[in-house]
Amino acid sequence: MPSIVEPKLISGNANMPLAKAIARRMTMYRGMSVGLVDARVERFNDQEIFVEVYENVRGEDMFIIQPTSNPANDNLMELLIMSDALRRSSAARITAVIPYFGYARQDRRSKARTPITAKLVANMIAEAGIERVLTMDLHAAQIQGFFDIPVDNLYASPIFALDILEQFKGNTSDIMVVSPDVGGVARARELAKRINAPLSIVDKRREKPGEIAEMTVIGEVAGKTCIIVDDICDTAGTLCKAAEVLMEHGATEVHSYITHGVLSGPAVERITKSVMKSLVITDSIQATGAVSGATNIRIVPTAPMFAQAILNIWNGTSVSSLFETETLGPIYEGIL
């Protein structure tokens, strides 16, 4: 049964435009005004974070919208402190909406005497009083098991599939979906299945960290429009190199669909100068001025999906229904 209280949204400083967009979409879906709870999240002179909530939240169903992107430590602490403030203000339930889950790449011990930081972050989130997590495209699916609270992991592939079918309308027969490494095959296969396209793999081998020694294309990409699919693009070195290798193997053009555009360091410059015709990312991480100004980078919105997922959690209905094109299609009608 639906709760008698209304869902209430609060946001930190990590991605305020996305939080406001989610509030607008919820307003449209519900036919009544949904705004962000009035609060201040600021820093003292020594960079300590301070949170003050100006509205009464006693007994309310609270949703904190806060990706833990760069600066990851600051944004993570904002999330934890906001949760503590809400818990001490007697909120009935606190859900963390984390579009981009930072530290997800530290999900296992890669060598001796290294941490599993994703597990540590999961413990901190639960201890802060958060009772549920809503995120998108975790780097590794097993991170859900690091939490002792419910985790709803949304997927960008249904949004990407809708966008591809719209952008390449009438020309989908030449599309080849490409995984940039062996580890991402499951993600690429999922998208390929949605758009009924074949799958190829770029196998990369490193001699040492940060250097790509060799790339091999598994599959016939000659004469194909290649679409590279991955969850994170950081410095874009691997992505741009993969695009070059695909063009060398006869691809007619290369596009990339990446969920989380971290795009640090020389990433934007590399992408702008690369052979890639376009890079499509979501707004899970707030775009910098350089990203917004890049001619071959396009951003697709996640607010419609997150708004519906928040309402489904509040209503106690299925979140996994948003994995289906039949459900997500009407939500994105006229947007992509």
Annotated binding-site ranges for Mg(2+): 139, 181
The DSSP element (H or E) to which 253 belongs, if any, is strand 253-261
Based on the residue annotation, tell me whether 208 is a catalytic residue of this protein: no
251/127 Cα distance (integer angstroms): 50
Q: Which residues are annotated as a binding site for ATP?
A: 46-48, 105-106
Nearest-10 crossing angle of helices 117-127, 72-88: 20
Q: Residue for token digits 């901190």?
A: 124
Q: Which of 20, 119, 204, 277 is catalytic?
A: 204
**Residues sharing a CB contact under 8 Å with residue 172, sequence separation 6 or more, in sequence order:** 164, 165, 195, 196, 197
CA dihedral 177, 179, 180, 182 (to 10 degrees): -160
Q: Which residues are annotated as a binding site for D-ribose 5-phosphate?
A: 206, 230, 234-238
Nearest Cα to Cα of residue 11 among 3, 22, 19: 19
Q: Which residues are annotated as a binding site?
A: 46-48, 105-106, 139, 181, 206, 230, 234-238
Known catalytic residues? 204
